[in-house]
Amino acid sequence: MVETLLTGLRAAAEPTRLRLLHLLAQGELTVTEITQILGQSQPRVSRHLKLMCEAGLLDRFPEGAWVFYRLAANKGRGGAVARRLLDLLPEADQTLTLDQQRLSAIRAVRADRAQAYFRDNASRWNEIRSLQVDEAEVEKALMAVFAGRRVHDLVDMGTGTGRVLEVLGPHVERAIGIDLSREMLSVARTNLERLSLSNCMVRQGDIAQLPLPAASADAVTIHQVLHYAADPAALVAEAARVLEPGGRLAVVDFAPHGEEALRDQHAHRRLGFEDAEVEGWVRAAGLEPGPVSRLPGKPLTVVVWTAQKPQPTLKSTGATR
């Protein structure tokens, strides 16, 4: 512990690095965005970031050609040191205030770009929403799945614009959304920043091979994703892999329907799922099926399937004398 403290202090003991801590405690930024705020060269900023990552003060997340940085989420390593240092920074410091103003300007540009993307593609979601039950009812049913449970780590597979994180984020300790689309993730980041959900983050990744260790989450959601998947059973199995014993899975998707236009116009691979089919995937993944909620729409019915990962059982040794 002493060595961790000393390493963190050495890595942070420089004006620019303290500025970086202050910025990245408020959300994730790319190197390009950081250089714009600090007014320093990219090589110099990259060196600072490298040292701070090695000391555990920051987390680094590659996303295609981009790399995002943010304050370390792991409080057991350098993250605790970083947060203690942040408490010591003066609120009225002129340099930090200027950094904050530049950060706000960058966020405004990011929000404009995200809104433009969503505006250009909104008809795709609005058309589907008009065929189903009110989204507020779906979100209410999703929240009910985890009501009364203390969720430490939530994983949202195929997070898209991050709506599930917006809904569940205020009720969990930590949440991460995974999606392949950088455009969608840009929208999600803007939405999370707008709501100050600093306990939520999004990452680019393949949900068929989540960039997460086994048994690392106590809640997983798969919201309106399976009907796009070539192998829905594999996604359920991957959700089961990252669930810890006692963890709960919620799958939100459509009941079987005949809207063939959704295949051509919205790339739906499957036109809904039977309860027995989803239950089969759940059991094959080693999970126990739970309650099912049905929310009828016109003509699409939304279903919320639930499952839980069983606790390991202690086998009797049956010793004889």
Boundaries of domain holding 214 = 124-309
Q: How many domains are there within the chain?
A: 2
CB-neighbour burial class of residue 126 (10 A; exposed 0-12, middle 13-18, buried 19+): exposed
**Nearest Cα residue to 302 out of 70, 98, 138, 92:** 138
Is residue 53 domain-shared with residue 189, that is, in the same domain?
A: no
| Domain end position, chosen among 89, 115, 148 | 89
Cβ atoms within 10 Å, residue 1: 7
Residue 68 has pLDDT above 80, yes or no: yes
Is residue 253 domain-shared with residue 163, that is, in the same domain?
A: yes
Is residue 75 domain-shared with residue 210, that is, in the same domain?
A: no
CA dihedral 72, 6, 89, 46 (to 10 degrees): -50
Residue 230 has pLDDT above 90, yes or no: no
179 vs 126, residue with greater confidence: 179
> What is the token pair recorded at 296?
């009828």
Q: What is the CATH classification number for the domain harbouring 128? A: 3.40.50.150
Is residue 173 domain-shared with residue 302, that is, in the same domain?
A: yes
Model confidence pLDDT, tens digit, residues 232-256: 899 999 999 999 999 999 999 999 9
CB 165 within 8 A of CB 174: no
Is residue 79 domain-shared with residue 146, that is, in the same domain?
A: no
Residue where the block lists tokens 């919201």: 223
Residue 97 domain flag: no
Q: What is the pLDDT of residue 123?
A: 64
Residue 114 domain flag: no
**Nearest Cα residue to 268 out of 253, 246, 251, 286:** 253
- Best mean pLDDT range from 59-73, 95-109, 213-227, 302-316: 213-227
Q: What is the pLDDT of residue 7?
A: 83
Residues in the chain: 321
3-state helix, strand, coil in the chain (%, to 5): 50, 20, 30
Residue 119 domain flag: no
| Domain end position, chosen among 29, 63, 89 | 89
Q: What span, in angstroms and rounded, lies between the C-alpha atoms of 173 and 151? A: 6
Q: What is the CATH classification number for the domain harbouring 83? A: 1.10.10.10
Q: What span, in angstroms and rounded, lies between the C-alpha atoms of 309 and 86? A: 38
Q: What span, in angstroms and rounded, lies between the C-alpha atoms of 242 and 92? A: 43
Q: What is the pLDDT of residue 316?
A: 43
Is residue 288 domain-shared with residue 172, that is, in the same domain?
A: yes
Mean pLDDT of the region 153-159: 96
Residue 105 domain flag: no
The Cα angle at residue 114 between residues 186 and 143, in degrees rounded to 5? 65
Is residue 143 domain-shared with residue 254, that is, in the same domain?
A: yes
Is residue 54 domain-shared with residue 179, that is, in the same domain?
A: no
Is residue 302 domain-shared with residue 169, that is, in the same domain?
A: yes
Q: Would you place residue 261 in the very low, low, confident or very high pLDDT band (cuts 50, 70, 90)?
A: confident
Q: What is the pLDDT of residue 315?
A: 57
Residue 56 domain flag: yes
Q: What is the pLDDT of residue 114?
A: 60
Residue 321 domain flag: no
Q: What span, in angstroms and rounded, lies between the C-alpha atoms of 70 and 25? A: 6
Is residue 261 domain-shared with residue 154, that is, in the same domain?
A: yes
Cβ-proximal residues to 137 (8 Å cutoff; 6+ apart), any chain? 295
| Domain end position, chosen among 89, 111, 146 | 89
Residue 110 domain flag: no
Q: What is the pLDDT of residue 320?
A: 42
Is residue 60 domain-shared with residue 135, that is, in the same domain?
A: no
Residue 268 has pLDDT above 50, yes or no: yes
pTM here is 0.76
Residue 316 domain flag: no
Is residue 64 domain-shared with residue 207, that is, in the same domain?
A: no
Model confidence pLDDT, tens digit, residues 280-321: 999 999 999 999 999 998 889 999 999 999 998 765 444 443
